[in-house]
Chains A and B, each alone.
Chain A
Amino acid sequence: MQWIRRFYASTIGKKVVMAVTGLLFTGFVVGHVSGNLLVYKSPQALNAYAAFLKGSAVVLWGVRLTLLASVALHAHAAYSLTLVSRRARPESYDQLDRQAGTWSARTMRWGGVLLLVFIVYHLLHFTVGSVHPSFSHTDVYTNVVTGFSVPAVAVFYIVAMLALAIHLHHGVWSLFQTLGINHPHTNRLRRVFATLLAGLVPLGFVAIVLGVVLGWVH
């Protein structure tokens, strides 16, 4: 197991961990938004889907623990790499003109912190229910409607989804580079893929919040 310690100690090893966990999150949010859009079908459809997800305790907790461990790894690697980078330039430039680097690339760190805060809140809101005004463990549909009827909560969710869009725009593109995938045949494709995901996934989530706010979902 010496090799794992050496791997994770390196800057590239941590990047790879962030890329692999990031890929996992990407798959998760795509599944999450696809299922949640059932809110537009009917209350029964969403509640049946929620019950299906909770069907097997082993699978449910397996997925939950994998995701939680991935969040912890992703955040630790990011924090540790940020410290390494800060230390790498103790004396800053009087001026350093950015020539490349998208806006999304520059906001990865603080955007990530915002997403971490959001994830904690989101779990307390819709999974644990402790910050929800009237939480039910079975009636997910009503939880959604009453949850997003609080204006401040709706605004926070929309802001977090903007952060998710920006994070995905750089992250999904960047993770391929980190996994060694950079080829003229696929470089345009991964830019398009990342931009599409960054647009569609948060749009789907925001559509649910707005659906409640505008009264389409009630």
Chain B
Amino acid sequence: MNLTLRVWRQEHAQISGAFVTYPVSDINPDMSFLEMLDVVNEGLIARQETPIAFDHDCREGICGACSLTINGIPHGPNRATTACQLHMRFFADGDTIVIEPFRAKAFPVVRDLVVDRASFDRIIAAGGYVGVSTGSAPEANALPIAKAIADRAMDAAQCIGCGACVAACPNASAMLFTGAKVMHLGLVPQGQAERSDRVLRMVDQMDAEGFGGCTNYGECHEACPKEIPLEAIARLNGDYLRAALSSREEDAA
């Protein structure tokens, strides 16, 4: 396959970036998108040019490291697929492919296509956890959880924290990400003790990071490689409203 790439190149967050066009030839359609970029980088290195920086780790769709906006869609055109699991056979010979980073104020560009998503880590640190006693593991069957509830909690827990929801959102909102964690922990009994505090603190942190508000477009769900349902945002809203009305932790802020 022969392709034309328009890739966002930016040395660091403090200077502005620009698109650079690269003609690419002899791409095997069975390569993954990231393998294609590897080949492009080999060529750049051979020509003594700086390779294109992009995030990647597991390359099997479960780590959430890849963060490419491909032809205007985070992770590219395939539904429920991360960029690393997107294969070149889904493109046609002669295509022009535009590759941009995930764009949000809370995701500053580190270099080229690499963005800093530590804002997500800080939202999790604010409340996305449960407190447990250390020591020996509790009896596994002591805490019954209905299968339907466990399934829904698992659906929400599938979030890999890649940030495609923010990247796709016209408001650059992080509510699907935050909602996924609030839904996951809010459904199971282990998450009840901190439920009210969790949502208040996580939303405070989410707002402090500079993410936008939700206007229920639904773009986040479409872009999500793990298909986190919009119900997660409804649960986030409902839990937040309930917590705001009922919380007695005045110092929680």
Report A's interface with B, CB cutoff 8 A: 2-3, 6-7, 9-16, 81, 84-85, 87-101, 105-106, 108, 170, 173-174, 176-183
Contact = CB atoms under 8 A, between A and B. Distances in A.
B112 interface: no
A101 B170 contact: yes
B121 to A, nearest CB: 18
B247 A177 contact: no
Contact of A108 (B203, B211, B215, B218): B215
Contacts of A99: 73, 168, 219, 222-223
Nearest to A5: B253
A179 B69 contact: no
Given A12-B203, A177-B234, A88 B240 contact: no
A10 B238 contact: no
Among A12, A173, A176, max chain B CB count under 10 A is at A12
B103 A89 contact: yes
Given A94-B100, A100-B222, A182-B234, A88 B106 contact: yes
B212 A16 contact: no
B216 interface: yes
B75 to A, nearest CB: 11
Nearest to B99: A94
7 contacts: A12-B203, A15-B237, A88-B105, A94-B8, A177-B230, A178-B214, A181-B234
A179 B241 contact: yes
Interface string B215-239: 1111101110000001101111111
Interface in B150-209: 168, 170-173, 175, 203-204, 206-207
Contacts of B106: 88
Contact of A16 (B103, B206, B237): B237
Contacts of B6: 94
Interface residues of B, number: 52
Among A6, A98, A180, A181, max chain B CB count under 10 A is at A180
B211 A105 contact: no
Contacts of A180: 234-235, 237-239, 241-242
Contact of B172 (A10, A88, A176): A88
Q: Chain B at the A interface: mostly helix, strand, loop or mixed?
A: mixed
A6 to B, nearest CB: 6
Contacts of B19: 94
Nearest to A86: B212
Given A88-B104, A94-B19, A99-B223, A170 B216 contact: yes
B240 A12 contact: yes
Given A95-B72, A180-B238, 16 more contacts: A12-B175, A15-B213, A81-B212, A81-B213, A88-B104, A88-B172, A88-B173, A89-B212, A94-B8, A97-B72, A108-B215, A178-B214, A178-B234, A179-B237, A180-B241, A182-B235
Nearest to A3: B244
Interface in B131-147: none
B204 A10 contact: yes
Contacts of A81: 212-213, 215
Contacts of B173: 11, 85, 88
B68 interface: no
Contacts of A91: 103
Contacts of A105: 215-218
Contacts of B219: 98-101
Contacts of B214: 11-12, 15, 178
Contacts of A84: 171, 207, 212-213
B51 interface: no
A10 B231 CA distance: 20
Among B210, B215, B238, B242, max chain A CB count under 10 A is at B215
Nearest to A16: B241
Contact of B98 (A3, A16, A95, A170): A95
A152 to B, nearest CB: 33
